[in-house]
């Protein structure tokens, strides 16, 4: 094996980083601008000092590698990330795919509301997938700093025409006349009582993006679902990412609020992860 690859793997592995192989690949490929395959086939690695510096920083601080690099990949695109936004997770890609499938065949203008935009990964991915449709996405967040990052990402991906950003506490700044075909959200859903059981890396992410204050972590789902009669168009859809052990609780709230066609989709770890419903 190439000695730099081996060295980086060792630095990360010795620091107890579980995904040391994936992170080695990410660091080397992004800093040297070469694929690991090419390096293994003999191409010379550039910026070795920088690569070692980044790996050492990751090992010493345990800050998420995405924060050290300043970006994360989501659906094949690079998103700027920082301490103001949640690092986009792989599971959220399933939410994007499911949301897209719900609305892709609509021929008239499509209006989407993204609650808790964070880095902008959901809004930008939907805007990109629906690039040939007439769409408008309203992306809200309670954090102005998150909105600034989302705006930067939308600009970088040339999607700024498709997305309107607004600071709002869930629906607080949504006007009565604004109606949506799809409300999508990956709200904070970790019960606060689990704060001390999380990986050290999660502590670098904003608490406002992670935690719900109630026992089961479902306070945001209740608020989002209760607001839908006012803001969903007739036949509109709701699609949300959910946490472990929350699917039954949230399904019941959806039933109580007259939703139908409730669909629960599992992630790769076989955990109920996405819930979609139709009003
Ligand atoms: C789990 S993160 C999701 C971020 C991004 N959509 C993603 O999937 O990676 C939740 C987001 O909700 C935002 N948020 C928290 N409380 C909120 C509220 N009351 N109203 C609107 N957004 C809120 C947080 O700032 C954070 O950006």
The single-letter DSSP state of residue 109 is -
224, 194: one domain: yes
Nearest ligand 1 atom, CA 92: 8
What distance in angstroms lies between residue 7's CA and the mean position of ligand 1's atoms? Answer: 38
Report if residue 73 sits inside a domain: no
Contact of 147 with 165, CB cutoff 8 Å:
yes
Show pLDDT as tens, one digit a residue, over the chain (279 residues).
688 999 999 999 999 999 999 999 999 999 998 888 888 888 888 899 999 999 999 999 999 999 999 999 999 999 999 999 999 999 999 999 999 999 999 999 999 999 999 999 999 999 999 999 999 999 999 999 999 999 999 999 999 999 999 999 999 999 999 999 999 999 999 999 998 888 888 989 999 999 999 999 999 999 999 999 999 999 999 999 999 999 999 999 999 999 999 999 999 999 999 999 998
252, 119: one domain: yes
* Nearest CA among 128, 155, 157, 121 for reference residue 139: 121
Q: How many domains does the chain have?
A: 2
51, 88: one domain: no
What distance in angstroms lies between residue 257's CA and the mean position of ligand 1's atoms? Answer: 23
Question: Which tokens in the block code for residue 169?
Answer: 């506490």
What distance in angstroms lies between residue 187's CA and the mean position of ligand 1's atoms? Answer: 5
Report if residue 256 sits inside a domain: yes
Give the residue whose CA is nearest to atom 11 of ligand 1: 116
Give the residue whose CA is nearest to atom 26 of ligand 1: 209
Report if residue 67 sits inside a domain: no
What distance in angstroms lies between residue 186's CA and the mean position of ligand 1's atoms? Answer: 7
| Helices and strands of the chain, counted as H and E runs | 11, 11
The residue assigned the tokens 């990052």 is: 149
Residues in the ligand 1 pocket, defined by CB under 6 Å? 85-86, 88, 92, 115-119, 121-122, 140-143, 146, 169-170, 186-188, 208-209
Beta-carbon contacts of 37 under 8 Å, excluding residues fewer than 6 positions away, are none
53, 92: one domain: no
CA 233 from centre of chain: 25
169, 242: one domain: yes
Question: Which tokens in the block code for residue 141?
Answer: 């967040």
57, 87: one domain: no
Question: Which tokens in the block code for residue 272?
Answer: 């109920």
Contact of 264 with 275, CB cutoff 8 Å:
yes
180, 121: one domain: yes
What distance in angstroms lies between residue 239's CA and the mean position of ligand 1's atoms? Answer: 15
The single-letter DSSP state of residue 268 is T
50, 147: one domain: no
Give the residue whose CA is nearest to atom 14 of ligand 1: 116
Report if residue 226 sits inside a domain: yes
55, 92: one domain: no
Q: 74 has which bridge partners?
A: 77
pTM: 0.95
Q: To test the ligand 1 pocket, which listed residue (174, 188, 267) has its Cβ within 8 A of the most ligand atoms?
A: 188
Domain that holds residue 11: 3-62
pLDDT of res. 177: 97
What distance in angstroms lies between residue 161's CA and the mean position of ligand 1's atoms? Answer: 22
Report if residue 198 sits inside a domain: yes
Nearest ligand 1 atom, CA 210: 1
The single-letter DSSP state of residue 89 is P
Report if residue 88 sits inside a domain: yes
Nearest ligand 1 atom, CA 123: 6
Report if residue 77 sits inside a domain: no
* Nearest CA among 42, 43, 68, 59 for reference residue 8: 59
Report if residue 78 sits inside a domain: no
Give the residue whose CA is nearest to atom 27 of ligand 1: 118
User: Tell me, what CATH number does 250's domain have?
Assistant: 3.40.50.150
pLDDT of res. 249: 97
What distance in angstroms lies between residue 202's CA and the mean position of ligand 1's atoms? Answer: 15
pLDDT of res. 124: 98
pLDDT of res. 2: 82
* Nearest CA among 200, 176, 189, 188 for reference residue 244: 189
């Amino acid at each position: 094996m190439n000695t730099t690859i081996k060295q980086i793997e060792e630095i990360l592995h010795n620091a107890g980083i579980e995904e040391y192989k994936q992170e080695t690949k990410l660091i080397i490929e992004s800093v040297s601008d070469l694929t690991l395959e090419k390096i293994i086939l003999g191409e010379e690695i550039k910026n070795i000092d920088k690569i070692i510096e980044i790996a050492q920083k990751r090992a010493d601080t345990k800050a998420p590698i995405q924060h050290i690099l300043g970006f994360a990949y989501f659906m094949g695109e690079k998103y700027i990330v920082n301490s103001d936004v949640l690092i986009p997770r792989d599971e959220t890609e399933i939410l994007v795919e499911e949301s897209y499938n719900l609305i892709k065949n609509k021929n008239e203008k499509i209006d989407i509301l993204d609650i808790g935009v964070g880095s902008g990964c959901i809004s930008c991915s939907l805007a990109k997938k629906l690039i040939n449709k007439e769409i408008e996405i309203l992306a809200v967040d309670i954090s102005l700093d998150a909105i600034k990052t989302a705006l930067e990402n939308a600009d970088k991906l040339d999607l700024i025409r498709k997305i309107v950003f607004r600071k709002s506490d869930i629906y607080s700044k949504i006007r009565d006349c604004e109606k949506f075909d799809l409300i999508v959200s990956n709200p904070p859903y970790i019960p606060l009582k689990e704060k001390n059981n999380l990986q050290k890396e999660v502590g670098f992410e904003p608490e406002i993006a992670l935690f719900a204050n109630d026992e089961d972590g479902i306070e945001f789902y209740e608020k989002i679902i209760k607001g839908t009669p006012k803001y969903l168009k007739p036949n509109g859809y709701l699609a949300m990412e959910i946490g472990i052990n929350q699917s039954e609780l949230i399904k019941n709230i959806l039933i109580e609020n007259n939703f139908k066609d409730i669909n629960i989709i599992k992630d790769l770890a076989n955990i109920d992860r996405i819930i979609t419903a139709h009003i």
